[in-house]
């Protein structure tokens, strides 16, 4: 038996950075997926081994089941009650990861491998298993790749353990029931904690449920968009330090409290208006075009305010200038100072123009994806092994 689960990445439509200072933000799923394939070895396989393959990175890890059980067996609790990995357990996991001799150039992956070991031990309970991960999401670019990794792995492990009840005879991708999504989201969040320390929970929630989320001061509300959205996502391939950028905005707010308070209040208004706009109905192409124009204005204003916060970058400005030549509106998404940029693709936009924009951006060394926004969350499928 093989179980596959896939989970989408996420974008921030409005409100990044300002949300740290009490403003509203809006996040949405993006139909670029991470897929986890989990297979129980055939009965003829003699080795009791846990294998993890990161196929896009050409990396493979393996541990004897007995070694994992000896190290982590005393820490796992009931599957129905997701729990954080204790500090002592993190030390034990670290020794298991060190055992793999991860290449120095890819040592940042160690936290993801650690998250896998905790999720595997807690959910599947020390049985031999082969896990393979593939992803359409670029790593470390602000599209929620780590959350999609944790959601996809958690979903596949929960399905294989029987904790998620989906029809194994049904073909194609299936979604979980509401209470099962709650359980899945909680386990994925525990994986995110291992990777990031103190995540907000936004990324894994968007990846689990899909669609869109409005959030403010720790409160998350799922919203249903009535507006079909397609974006050009441009990965500038410029790395950045999210913690340093967040700290920089906070320091600017200390130096200029009144001005920055006005900036944060303006972002809050933009996010609220944007969420109302997305939920309103468009009855024909004309009204959809008007909504797209309004959305473009809100994105443009939000980008201007992000520039006021000091988190733009030469690469981002290049994308903005390039897409502006074609009459398109763009904004950064996530931490800024590199990462990814969103460009709204109107419903009636010519495909020829899109091709020209992509060609020009790629000539600058950027990577481009066309992606639907606000689609499905985590999905599962079952496959019989031949």
The DSSP annotation for 144-212 comes to -HHHHHHHHHHHHHHHHHTSS---TTS-S-BPPPHHHHHHHHHHHHHHHHHHHSS--SHHHHHHHHBSE
Listed in sequence order, the residues at least 6 apart from 127 whose beta carbon sits closer than 8 Å to its beta carbon are 40, 65
**One of 47, 56, 203, 384 is an active-site residue; which one?**
203
User: Nearest-CA neighbor of 13 among 25, 21, 22?
Assistant: 25
Cα separation, 220 vs 222, whole angstroms: 7
Average pLDDT for 171-176: 83
Total count of residues recorded for the chain: 386
Q: How confident is the model at residue 195 (pLDDT cuts 50, 70, 90)?
A: very high
Verdict on whether the full-model pTM lies above 0.95:
no
Q: Which comes out higher in pLDDT, residue 226 or 36?
A: 36
Among 10-19, 218-227, 272-281, which stretch is predicted with the lowest mean pLDDT?
218-227
Q: How confident is the model at residue 45 (pLDDT cuts 50, 70, 90)?
A: low
Average pLDDT for 228-247: 91
Cα separation, 265 vs 235, whole angstroms: 29
203 is a catalytic site residue = yes
Q: What is the pLDDT of residue 101?
A: 81
Q: Which comes out higher in pLDDT, residue 19 or 101?
A: 19
Q: What is the pLDDT of residue 145?
A: 93
Average pLDDT for 72-84: 91
Render pLDDT for 329-368 as a digit per residue (tens, 0 to 9): 999 999 889 999 999 999 989 999 999 999 999 999 999 9
Render pLDDT for 93-111 as a digit per residue (tens, 0 to 9): 999 998 888 877 677 789 9
Q: How confident is the model at residue 43 (pLDDT cuts 50, 70, 90)?
A: low
**pLDDT for 41 beyond 90:** no
List, in order of start, the domains of the chain with CATH numbers: 2-224+375-383 (3.30.230.10), 229-372 (3.30.70.890)
Render pLDDT for 283-319 as a digit per residue (tens, 0 to 9): 766 688 999 999 999 999 999 999 999 999 999 999 9
Average pLDDT for 61-67: 95
Residue 278 corresponds to which tokens in the numbers above?
């997305």
Q: What is the pLDDT of residue 71?
A: 94
**pLDDT for 130 beyond 90:** yes
Q: Mean pLDDT in the chain? A: 92
Average pLDDT for 196-210: 91
Residue 22 corresponds to which tokens in the numbers above?
């009490």
Q: Are 335 and 242 in contact (CB under 8 A)?
A: yes
Q: Are 210 and 8 in contact (CB under 8 A)?
A: yes
């Amino acid at each position: 038996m093989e179980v596959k689960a896939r989970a989408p990445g996420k974008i921030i439509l409005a409100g990044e950075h300002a949300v740290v200072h009490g403003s509203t933000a809006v996040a949405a799923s993006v139909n670029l997926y991470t897929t986890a394939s989990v297979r129980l070895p055939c009965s003829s396989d003699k080795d009791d081994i846990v294998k993890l393959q990161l196929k896009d990175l050409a990396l493979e890890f393996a541990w004897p089941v007995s070694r994992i059980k000896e190290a982590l067996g005393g820490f796992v609790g009931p599957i129905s009650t997701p729990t954080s990995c204790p500090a002592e357990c993190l030390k034990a996991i670290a020794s298991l990861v060190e055992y793999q001799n991860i290449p120095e150039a890819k040592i940042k992956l160690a936290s993801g491998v650690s998250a896998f070991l905790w999720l595997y031990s807690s959910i599947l309970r020390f049985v031999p298993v082969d896990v393979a991960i593939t992803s359409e999401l670029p790593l470390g670019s602000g599209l929620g790749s780590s959350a999609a990794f944790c959601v996809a792995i958690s979903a596949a492990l929960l399905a294989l353990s029987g904790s998620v009840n989906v029809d194994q005879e049904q073909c194609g991708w299936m979604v979980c029931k509401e209470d099962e999504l709650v359980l899945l989201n909680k386990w994925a969040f525990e994986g995110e904690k291992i990777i990031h320390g103190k995540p907000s929970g936004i990324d894994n929630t968007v990846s689990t449920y899909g669609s869109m989320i409005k959030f403010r001061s720790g409160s998350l509300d799922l919203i249903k968009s009535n507006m079909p959205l397609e974006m050009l996502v441009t990965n500038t391939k410029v790395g950045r330090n999210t913690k340093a950028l967040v700290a920089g905005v906070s320091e600017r707010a200390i130096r200029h409290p009144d001005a920055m308070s006005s900036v944060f209040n303006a972002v809050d208004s933009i996010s609220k208006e944007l969420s109302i706009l997305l939920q309103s109905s468009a009855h024909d192409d004309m009204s959809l075009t008007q909504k797209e124009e309004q959305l473009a204005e809100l994105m443009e204003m939000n980008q201007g305010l992000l520039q006021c916060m000091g988190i733009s970058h030469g690469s981002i400005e290049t994308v903005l200038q390039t897409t502006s030549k074609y009459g398109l509106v763009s904004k950064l998404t996530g931490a800024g100072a590199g990462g990814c940029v969103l460009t709204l693709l109107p419903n009636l936009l010519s495909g020829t123009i899109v091709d020209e924009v992509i060609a020009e951006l790629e000539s600058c060394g950027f990577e481009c994806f066309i992606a639907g926004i606000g689609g499905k969350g985590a999905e599962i499928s079952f496959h019989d092994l031949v």
